């Protein structure tokens, strides 16, 4: 009985984390509300650059992995926080000079 409860607990944990935490290859997150346009995060682009989830989701950069739990501002990014830690022009493209690589304007219908 104890073994069955342990196995069920592991399955439950895997299902929850897989749905709530994963933005891996083939998945895209959209962050709306910016006047510059929707910010798009593409897991495949980052995987193809050789990154794993834990490269960003760690106590320094993104300790919380659920969308909407972290308020990110451009000033934070320019100060080297969150995405700005790598997107500094040395490790990855400089965010100050490449706005449209993240911000996408949507057409009005």
Per-residue pLDDT reduced to its tens digit, 15-65: 334 333 445 566 788 888 888 899 988 888 888 889 888 888 888 777 776
pTM of the model: 0.65
Q: What is the pLDDT of residue 61?
A: 78
- What fold, for 23-104? Cytochrome C3 (3.90.10)
Q: What is the pLDDT of residue 24?
A: 57
Beta strands (DSSP E) in the chain are 28-31, 38-42, 103-104
C-alpha 84/C-alpha 55 separation (Å) is 13
Identify the residue with better confidence: 88 or 2.
88
Q: What is the pLDDT of residue 17?
A: 40
């Amino acid at each position: 009985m104890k073994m069955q409860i342990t196995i069920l607990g592991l399955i439950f944990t895997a299902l929850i984390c897989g749905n709530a935490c994963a933005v891996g290859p083939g998945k895209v997150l959209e962050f709306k509300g910016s006047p510059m346009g929707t910010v798009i995060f593409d897991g495949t682009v980052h995987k193809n650059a050789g990154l794993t989830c834990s490269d960003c989701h760690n106590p320094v950069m993104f300790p919380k992995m659920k969308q909407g739990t972290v308020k990110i501002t451009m000033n934070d990014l320019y100060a080297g926080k969150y995405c700005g830690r790598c997107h500094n022009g040395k490790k990855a493209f400089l965010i100050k000079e490449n706005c449209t690589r993240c911000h996408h304007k949507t057409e009005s219908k």
